[in-house]
Amino acid sequence: MDTQTITDLIQQGLPDAVVRVQGDDGVHFEALVVSAAFAGKLPLARHRMVYATLGALMGREIHALALDTKTPDEHARASGAGAG
């Protein structure tokens, strides 16, 4: 498994998402997923939305996926945009 495939699958399932996936060993990955679809959802629901885009790959080809899920506003605040 590679980071580009995971990125592509998440973006297919969440078309508005900005996705950044990292992982060097082919089975353990970290992903930042920024999507307006996460608005009003708790972290567990957000993670389930991402896992749903990956289907059967989770637990098989992808052994671990650490997720950071944010709305665009949350991501902007976390990035320091607009701080002053």
Over residues 5-9, the mean pLDDT reads 96
Distance (Å) of CA 61 to CA 32, 54, 73: 19, 10, 32
The confidence band for 84, taking pLDDT boundaries of 50, 70 and 90, is: very low
Q: Looking at residue 34, what is its pLDDT?
A: 98
- The domains of the chain are located at 3-74
Please give the model's pTM, rounded to 2 decimal places: 0.90
Architecture, CATH, for domain 3-74 = 2-Layer Sandwich (3.30)
**Partner residues linked to 28 by β-bridges:** 64
- Dihedral Cα 54, 58, 64, 70, nearest 10 deg: 30
Q: Looking at residue 60, what is its pLDDT?
A: 86
